[in-house]
Amino acid sequence: MRVFSGIRPTGNLHLGNYLGAMRQWITIQEKEDCVFCVVDLHAITTPYDPKNLKANIFELAIDYLAAGLNPEKCILFIQSSVKEHAELAWLLGTVTPLGELKRMTQFKDKSKQHPEYVNAGLLNYPILMAADILLYQTDIVPIGKDQQQHVELTREIVRDFNKRFGQILKEPRALLPQVGDKIMSLTEPDKKMSKTGNPKSFIGLFEEPESIKAKIMAAVTDTGKDIKFNPVKKPGISNLLTIYSLASGKPIEELEKQFEKKRYSDFKNSLAEYLAEYLKPFSKKRKELLTREVYVNDILRRGSQKAATIAQSTMQEIKTAMGL
């Protein structure tokens, strides 16, 4: 089965990205035919500094590798290096209803967030995402819950397209993370963990142990003193339990038992220690890769060649079907 997913190169990966989405990629690359992409064309739909973009793209590729993507087992490449992505997005734009695009939650959120930067690309973002997915005749799209709506729209585009032009495109399906769809912010546990928020609200995948510990110890908890999973009444502790469970592989109930008579601070101490150890190998690998620019560029170049071969063949079929 073909698997496709992407992450925008906007700042470093955090624990939420990793536990929520990326970890699935690492497992799935062992058994399926995986294509992973640094989606730089998506990144330019929100405010950014062109002086930093190139470095961010490259670093995200390094982050992917440091987090465990294996270039022998998957295709890793940069979106803008395969021009068919932009080309197919244009074609799909002609079969996507405007009303659907305007309804997308992410479009509405981002328009509110950056009212001075509501460009057509932001509106068309889901079309480019559909193009990414459909160029590779993807079966499965591992994503966070916030992107599910975009995959649903992709499925509608496929159905409309195939009705008009013949059975050309494959209808993909979203693969959501199982436990803890969402890792929440450490400072505002009712919001998603995000790398653009307050630095205390997230833990970077490559953060130093001291700073990891400080952030966990400072994480917002709830009134009361029981270490019990209850996202509605105890969003702070529940989020920390989710993080602990996902990182350690221990079920939440087991953690609740382990910390039954303990204080919040005992629990946080234990989690802080665990996470600092857990994340050490990631930093080590990343530091090493940062000194191997030629090697990383070579991986990306080969990835881009493999991706282009698949993309070009799909593109040819699509153009023929559309009468171009």
CB 127 within 8 Å of CB 93: yes
Q: How many residues bind ligand TRP (CB under 6 A)?
A: 13
Count how many residues are written for the chain: 324
Closest among 201, 277, 194 to 13, alpha carbons compared: 194
Closest among 193, 195, 133, 144 to 25, alpha carbons compared: 144
Closest among 13, 16, 19, 85 to 310, alpha carbons compared: 85
Nearest approach in angstroms of CB 256 to ligand TRP is: 31
Q: In the complex with ligand TRP, which residue's Cβ is closer, 196 or 265? A: 196
Q: Choose one: 86-94, 141-149, 182-190, 209-217; the region binding ligand TRP (CB under 6 A).
A: 141-149
Q: Measure the CA–CA gap between 111 and 162, rounded to whole angstroms.
A: 31
Closest among 107, 153, 149 to 131, alpha carbons compared: 153
Q: Measure the CA–CA gap between 36 and 77, rounded to whole angstroms.
A: 7
Q: In the complex with ligand TRP, which residue's Cβ is closer, 143 or 193? A: 143
Q: Measure the CA–CA gap between 154 and 108, rounded to whole angstroms.
A: 18
Q: Is 5 in the site for ligand TRP (CB under 6 A)?
A: yes
Q: Choose one: 4-12, 46-54, 247-255, 267-275; the region binding ligand TRP (CB under 6 A).
A: 4-12
- Annotated catalytic residues are 110, 192, 195
Q: In the complex with ligand TRP, which residue's Cβ is closer, 22 or 246? A: 22
Q: Choose one: 52-60, 127-135, 205-213, 221-229; the region binding ligand TRP (CB under 6 A).
A: 127-135
Q: Is 42 in the site for ligand TRP (CB under 6 A)?
A: yes
Q: Choose one: 48-56, 112-120, 126-134, 178-186; the region binding ligand TRP (CB under 6 A).
A: 126-134
From the list 74, 82, 134, 143, which residue makes contact with ligand TRP (rule: CB under 6 A)? 143
Q: Measure the CA–CA gap between 196 and 175, rounded to whole angstroms.
A: 25
Q: Is 39 in the site for ligand TRP (CB under 6 A)?
A: yes
E-strand stretches of the chain: 2-7, 33-38, 74-78, 140-142, 173-175
Nearest approach in angstroms of CB 102 to ligand TRP is: 17
Q: Is 3 in the site for ligand TRP (CB under 6 A)?
A: no
Q: Is 4 in the site for ligand TRP (CB under 6 A)?
A: yes
Nearest approach in angstroms of CB 132 to ligand TRP is: 4
From the list 33, 40, 59, 132, which residue makes contact with ligand TRP (rule: CB under 6 A)? 132
Please give the C-alpha separations between residue 24 and each of 19, 181, 307, in angstroms, as whole numbers.
8, 12, 21
Return all residues near 307 (Cβ < 8 A) that are at least 6 apart: 35, 37, 75, 77, 81, 82, 136
Nearest approach in angstroms of CB 11 to ligand TRP is: 12
Q: Is 9 in the site for ligand TRP (CB under 6 A)?
A: no
Name which of residues 86 to 105 contact ligand TRP (CB under 6 A).
none
Q: Which spans of this chain sit near ligand TRP (rule: CB under 6 A)?
A: 4-8, 39, 42, 129, 132-133, 141, 143, 147
